[in-house]
């Protein structure tokens, strides 16, 4: 279909207006490599506002996840438990270190890991549990942490979508031993590409700083703790440039406004789609009592793949782009042969029935009304 000015895309990056000012300042300072003024401002903001013990900006959430696999010393044959319904990087970061991924199904209420199934997947080779707070909605963290403690396992929170969201009164990203965030263009707070590693278990801080700086003790050198810097460990180049950090800082200080606007959009969808959804056996997102909603995403779960196709096509005909999401990783061309044949029914169901609606700061009330009207006038075939 022809995309005219009325076309409503799935995502549109938001600019606060201060990005260029901070980037210009970073340029003026002539310190454009990583770990300068804006990197430190961003990291301090998160440490102070969310109680994260130590934050390190990275060039992506994928990089931060790779750092987690290095920090946990994942070796060939170690097992890592995680949901199958997630982004490829959650698994790939650990596969790069030789891990065997033991995929767990999603629960019945939302796409998050079914914590009730984790314990039976633990073996003597299990090293870590990686949870993903899908759509920024918390996993059942008390349960996950107590399982981990009982079995002496590490917990990594893939909080890529979960900025400014909470489990009870605890910010997501502050609960696991390690956590990762994404500032990719599609996330609430963005720098185009970008991410962050959070270290809550302080035993990992020193080594994280070394891995971050290509395996050298450069950070300790700049703090005056050693008199020259050396190659001391493995590592890579995980720091973003100051230009990226300056852009990110503009977004961070506008976070309250961004979040409240997104929540308004989310609630408009929820309110106006509830009746239609019930009538058509479509599930809307459910936020468990222990979780908050950071309005990262608004999704629908249809009762059949055919209904999903009908809805996506019908919206497309009205000039609205809605998209599906993950395909179960345990069934992916890369992993299917390595998977242990367990059927993960919920994950597969979500792979074929979940739809995401347009969700971005600049979505106007007129546009939301148009999307709601387009959806609620769809007559789904009976099946
Ligand atoms: C976006 C996302 C990632 C990857 O983030 P990048 O910053 O693009 O590397 C990883 N995990 C989840 C759950 C995500 O949503």
| Mean of pLDDT values over 270-284 | 97
Q: In percent, how much of the chain has pLDDT > 90?
A: 97
Averaged pLDDT, 292-316: 97
182 Cβ below 6 A of ligand 1 = yes
Q: What spacing in Å lies between the alpha carbon of 160 and ligand 1's midpoint? A: 5
pLDDT tens, position by position, 329-380: 999 999 999 999 999 999 999 999 999 999 999 999 999 999 999 999 998 8
CB 69 within 8 A of CB 94: yes
Helix (H) or strand (E) holding 141: helix 141-151
Residue from 11, 84, 157, 184 whose mutation best tests the ligand 1 pocket (most atoms within 8 A of CB): 184
Bridge partner list, 131: 157
CA angle 208, 213, 219 (to 5 degrees): 80
Here the tokens at position 264 are 């308004």
pLDDT of residue 200 exceeding 80 = yes
Residue 24 CA to residue 4 CA, distance in Å, equals 34
Q: Residue 252: is its pLDDT beyond 60?
A: yes
Ligand 1 pocket mutation, candidates 93, 161, 244, criterion most atoms within 8 A of CB: 161
The single-letter DSSP state of residue 360 is -
Ligand 1 midpoint to CA 84 (Å): 14
Question: For the chain, what percent of residues have pLDDT higher than 70?
Answer: 99
* pLDDT at res. 379: 85
Rounded Cα distance between 42 and 192, Å, is: 15
Closest alpha carbon to 204 in 332, 321, 374, 69: 69
Buried b (16+ CB within 10 A) or exposed e, 53-83: ebbbbbbbbbbbbbbbbbbbebeeebbbbbb
| CA–CA separation, 94 and 316 (whole Å) | 37
Pocket test for ligand 1, best of 56, 57, 87, 187 (most atoms within 8 A of CB): 87
Residue with CA closest to ligand 1 atom 14? 160
Q: Is 101:113 a contact under the CB 8 Å cutoff?
A: no
Q: Is the CB of 62 under 6 A from ligand 1?
A: yes
Q: 383 and 306 in contact (C-beta within 8 Å)?
A: yes
Question: Rounded CA gap, 51 and 277, in Å?
Answer: 38
In order, the DSSP letters of 92-128 are HHHHTTTPEEEEE-B-SSSSSB-GGGTGGG--TTEEE
pLDDT of residue 381: 82
Ligand 1 in reach of 244 Cβ (< 6 A): no
Residue 30 confidence (pLDDT): 96
Name the pLDDT band for 3 (thresholds 50, 70, 90).
low
Taking the CA of residue 64 as reference, the ligand 1 atom at the shortest distance is 9
Total Cβ atoms within 10 A of residue 292: 20
Is residue 195 within 6 Å of ligand 1 at its C-beta? yes
Write the pLDDT tens digit of every residue in 332-346.
999 999 999 999 999
Q: What are phi and psi of 148, to 5 degrees?
A: -60, -45
Is the CB of residue 311 less than 8 Å from the CB of residue 342? no
Tens-place pLDDT, residues 60-98: 999 999 999 999 999 999 999 999 999 999 999 999 999
Tens of pLDDT along 44-56?
A: 999 999 999 999 9
Residue 382: per-residue pLDDT: 73
Does 2 score more than 70 pLDDT?
no
Name the pTM for this structure. 0.97
CA dihedral 47, 68, 209, 206 (to 10 degrees): 90
Instruction: Round to whole Å and give the CA distance between 240 and 149.
Output: 34
Q: At residue 383, does pLDDT exceed 70? A: no
Mean pLDDT, the chain, rounded, equals: 97
């Amino acid at each position: 279909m022809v995309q005219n000015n009325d076309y409503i895309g799935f995502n549109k990056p938001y600019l606060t207006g201060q990005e260029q000012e901070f980037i210009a300042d970073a340029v003026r300072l002539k310190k454009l490599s990583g770990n300068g003024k804006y990197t430190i401002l961003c990291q301090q903001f998160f440490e102070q506002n969310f109680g994260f013990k130590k934050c390190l900006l990275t060039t992506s959430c994928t990089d931060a996840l790779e750092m987690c696999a290095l920090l946990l010393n994942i070796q060939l044959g170690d097992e890592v438990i995680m949901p199958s319904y997630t982004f490829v990087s959650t698994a790939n970061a650990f596969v790069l270190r030789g891990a065997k991924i033991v995929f767990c199904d999603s629960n019945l209420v939302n796409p998050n890991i079914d914590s009730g199934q984790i314990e039976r997947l633990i073996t003597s080779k299990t090293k870590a549990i990686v949870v993903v707070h899908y759509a920024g909605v918390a996993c059942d963290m008390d349960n996950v942490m107590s399982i981990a403690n009982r079995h002496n396992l590490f917990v990594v929170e893939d909080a890529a979508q979960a900025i400014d969201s909470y489990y009870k009164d605890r910010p997501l990203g502050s609960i696991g031993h390690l956590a990762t965030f994404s500032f990719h263009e599609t996330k609430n707070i963005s720098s185009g590409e970008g991410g962050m590693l959070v270290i809550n278990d302080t035993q990992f801080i020193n080594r994280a700083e070394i891995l971050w700086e290509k395996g050298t003790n450069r950070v300790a050198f700049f703090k005056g703790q050693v008199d020259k810097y050396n190659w001391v460990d493995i590592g890579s180049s995980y720091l973003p440039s100051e230009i990226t950090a300056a852009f990110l800082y503009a977004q961070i200080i506008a976070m309250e406004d961004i979040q409240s606007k997104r929540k308004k959009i989310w609630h408009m969808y929820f309110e106006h789609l509830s009746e239609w959804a019930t009538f058509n056996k479509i599930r809307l997102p459910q936020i468990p009592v222990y979780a908050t909603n950071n309005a990262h995403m608004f999704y629908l779960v249809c009762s059949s793949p055919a209904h999903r196709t009908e809805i996506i096509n019908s919206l497309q005909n009205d000039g609205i782009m809605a998209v599906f999401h993950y395909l179960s990783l345990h069934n992916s061309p890369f992993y299917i042969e390595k998977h242990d044949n367990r059927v993960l029914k919920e994950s597969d169901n979500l792979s074929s029935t979940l739809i995401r609606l347009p969700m971005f700061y600049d979505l106007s009330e007129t546009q939301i009304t148009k999307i709601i009207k387009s959806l609620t006038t769809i007559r789904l075939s009976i099946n």
